[in-house]
Structure 1
Amino acid sequence: MKNISVTSTIDKPRETVFAAFTDFDQLARVLHSATEVTFVTPEKTGLGTKWVQVTQEGEETSSGTHHIIELTQNQSFTMVSLDSISKETMSFTFADQGQATQVDFRMEGIPISGLAKLASPFLSKLIKKAMQEDLDRMKAHIESQS
């Protein structure tokens, strides 16, 4: 699976946007629509944080483990996600855009299951659309906060 990236401008200062994205319980629930989040590490934010999240789409329930492997305060963070279908590396970069913040969301996925390996060349457009929807949901959530 190739690198896929999407961008959004959020009408809040970078520090506020970064804080919202690095509230990993909130990130899992808003960005990925997780129904359950369980932290594996004692810390719930910062470098090294690890959690398992459960998501449900229709009748399908899935879970994945997420681990923060890089974090530069108010600038960027990278997490790896592992589930039964793929291993993904997701990077988020934050930059000032006047009074707003530009968020770049980049993902590289490595299919694990046979079906995912076969389907991955055809899924890029669907994945990009889903990533943009995820980012738009996070944008709406952050901008609705006072």
Structure 2
Amino acid sequence: MAIDVTSEIEIARPRAVVAGFSADPDNVPRWYVNIDSVEWKTPRPARVGSRIGFVARFLGRRLVYTYEIVELVPGEKLVMRTAEGPFPMETGYAWRDAGEGRTHMTLRNRGTPTGFSRLMAPFMALAVRRSTDRDLLRLKTILEATG
């Protein structure tokens, strides 16, 4: 069973600010509750082909994986993929204007669990939904507090 979870939020900050902050891997530990650290595997700045290592906690487990940026349209879209671990995944961000000084952001996570994880897919989808909703609320709080 594939997992495909999309969360959305509106943030009272201009799209350039929201996209610039959220697309910068160095900021990820600030707004993703379960990401502990990032490590650049390729030189900055982020671009198609960039590889970034992440250390995360999910469902009580420590996960270490490397994402590769496969699509990047600054201020509009970012897509990253990993084929590592029990849960190969693609994460995508999209941003669009939502009125004067406001941004609509979409965060999509999709993948197909392998091995034992595949049996847990329905539970994992719910956990991913809760986590991404919480992450977007945290991002909103951070960015609106700095505006």
TM range (shorter): 0.7 to 0.9
Give identity over the alignment, percent. Answer: 22
| Offset of residue 126 of structure 1 | 2.3
Matches within 5 A, 1:116-127: 116-127=117-128
Aligned counterpart, 2:144: 143
Distance in 2, matches of 1:122 and 1:104, equals 22
Structure 2 residues not aligned, in runs of 5+: none
**Could you say which structure has the greater relative contact order, defined with CA pairs below 8 angstroms and 6 or more residues apart?**
2
Aligned counterpart, 2:107: 105
Report if the CA contact (8 A) 2:80-2:90 is conserved: yes
Does 1:17 find its partner at 2:18? yes
AA in 1 matched with 2:113: P
Q: Deviations over 1:15-70 (max 9, x none)?
A: 11110012111124422543222110012423222111112469742212111110
TM-score (norm 1): 0.87
TM-score (norm 2): 0.87
Q: Give the secondary-structure state (helix, strand or coil) at the position aligned to 1:139.
A: helix
Distance in 2, matches of 1:122 and 1:37, equals 26
Aligned counterpart, 2:7: 6
Structure 1 residues not aligned, in runs of 5+: none
Distance in 2, matches of 1:58 and 1:95, equals 31
